[in-house]
């Protein structure tokens, strides 16, 4: 994948803007650890909802996308968001486990077909 393609860089810029407009980035460092984890979960959900257009990513692809967003946010001097994304990456396993969709199981209904 060409990460320098204009469409992809535009996607990253839009995703960063979407995250920044939906959370309070500047107050992140004053939060307690539980509140920080909540903000990290919000960032991951915003990112995940932005990808809902039929794109399915596995864990490694999510991690790669978070790393790209992290580096891109540093590049555009959004250092608070960069720190949040780094923390999302550090706590990825717990955040991903909470947000991954549950697998649906199908139940078979037994029917009694005995002729009496």
Q: Could you tell me if residue 18 is inside a domain?
A: yes
Number of domains in the chain: 1
Q: How many Å apart are CA 98 and CA 114, to the nearest integer? A: 45
Closest CA to 41 of 91, 4, 107: 91
Residue 54 lies in a domain: yes
In the Cβ-directed half-sphere of 2, how many Cα atoms lie within 13 Å?
5
User: Do the domain assignments include residue 50?
Assistant: yes
How do residues 55-85 score in pLDDT, each as one tens digit? 777 888 889 889 989 888 888 888 888 999 9
Count other Cβ atoms within 10 Å, centred on residue 43. 24
Question: Residue 54: pLDDT band by 50, 70, 90 thresholds?
Answer: low
Domain coverage including residue 38: 6-98
CA R_g for the chain: 19
Q: Is the pTM of this model over 0.85?
A: no
Enter the DSSP assignment of 23: S
> What pLDDT sits at residue 52?
67
Please tell me the total number of residues recorded for the chain in this structure: 116
- Please indicate, yes or no, if residue 10 is contained in any of the structural domains: yes
Q: Is 62 exposed, middle or buried (0-12, 13-18, 19+ CB in 10 A)?
A: buried
């Amino acid at each position: 994948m060409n990460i320098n393609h204009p469409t992809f860089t535009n996607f990253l810029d839009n995703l960063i803007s979407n995250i920044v407009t939906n959370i309070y980035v500047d107050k992140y460092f004053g939060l307690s650890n539980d509140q920080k984890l909540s903000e990290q979960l919000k960032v991951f959900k915003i990112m995940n909802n932005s990808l809902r257009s039929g794109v399915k990513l596995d864990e490694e692809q999510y991690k790669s996308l978070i790393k790209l967003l992290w580096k891109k946010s540093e590049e555009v001097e959004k250092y608070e968001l960069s720190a949040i994304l780094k923390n999302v990456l550090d706590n990825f396993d717990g955040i991903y486990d909470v947000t991954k969709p549950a697998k649906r199981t199908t139940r078979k209904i037994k029917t009694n077909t005995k002729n009496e």
